């Protein structure tokens, strides 16, 4: 499974509201994810895949007040609590888009986001997940094994080229290891296959397959 990050090119709306303590609550709202359209990275998310994952994500994370997002481009698929800046509070389907809303938290990275908003900085959102891709013409189609890690990390100006940089980790494979995701030792498996004689090839493949099954 590959790490897949998508920066949404549409601007997010800033919302500031006075709370009961007389302080300001900061929120962002906008298109967090899009389906059935080829994005800037050349990838397409079928609505069936997106709908299924958003449903699970909403039930297991949004509704449980644990749909966190980070500031910047994380290098892996898991949420780093020390980098959390906001909590996604709503995801609503609108045609082939999902409109999201997130509350900026009073964490160290959340405070940075609040300051950036106060200074008028332009911010965007980037979804993060894992899955396999299948080439279809000049597009890569996200497959049914896709798993949504977070609907929105907060990133720099989405119109800037560096906001679309695909992290180094996107080129690596990930597997489940006792319920935790870790980078797969794909090269080790390939080397083992290459060193195996033709007569022992089937046995080597079975060994690797069994090893992978123990990590799911």
Strands 139-142 and 43-44: what pairing? parallel
Tokens of 201: 């090839």
Q: Which residues are catalytic?
A: 73, 126
3-state secondary structure the chain: CEEEEEECCCCCEEEEEECCCCCEEEEEEEEEEECCCCCCCCEECCHHHHHHHHHHHHHHHHCCCCCEEEECCCCCCCCCHHHEEEEEEEEEEECCEEEEEEEECCCHHHHHHHHHHHCCCCCEEEEEEEECEEEECCEEEECCCCEEEEEEEEECCCCCHHHHCCCHHHHCEEEEECCEEEECCHHHHHHHHHHCCHHHHHHHHHHHHHHHHCCC
């Amino acid at each position: 499974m590959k790490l897949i990050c998508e920066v949404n090119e549409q601007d997010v709306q800033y919302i500031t509201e006075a709370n009961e303590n007389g302080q300001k609550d900061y929120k962002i709202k906008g298109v967090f994810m899009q389906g059935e359209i080829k994005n800037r990275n050349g990838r397409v998310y079928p609505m069936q895949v997106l709908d299924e994952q958003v449903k699970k994500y909403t039930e297991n994370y949004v509704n449980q007040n644990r749909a966190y997002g980070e500031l910047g481009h994380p290098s892996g698929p898991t949420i780093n609590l020390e980098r959390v800046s906001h909590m996604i509070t709503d995801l609503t389907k609108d045609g082939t888009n999902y409109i999201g809303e997130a509350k900026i938290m009073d964490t160290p990275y959340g405070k940075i986001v609040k300051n950036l908003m106060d200074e008028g900085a332009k911010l965007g959102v980037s979804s993060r997940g894992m899955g396999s891709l299948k080439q279809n013409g000049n597009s890569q189609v996200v497959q049914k094994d896709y798993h949504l890690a977070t609907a929105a990390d907060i990133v720099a100006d989405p119109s800037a080229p560096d906001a679309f940089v695909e992290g180094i980790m996107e080129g690596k494979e990930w597997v489940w290891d006792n319920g935790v995701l870790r980078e797969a030792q794909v090269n080790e498996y390939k080397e083992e296959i290459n060193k195996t004689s033709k007569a022992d090839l089937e046995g080597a493949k079975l060994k690797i397959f069994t090893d992978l099954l123990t990590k799911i």
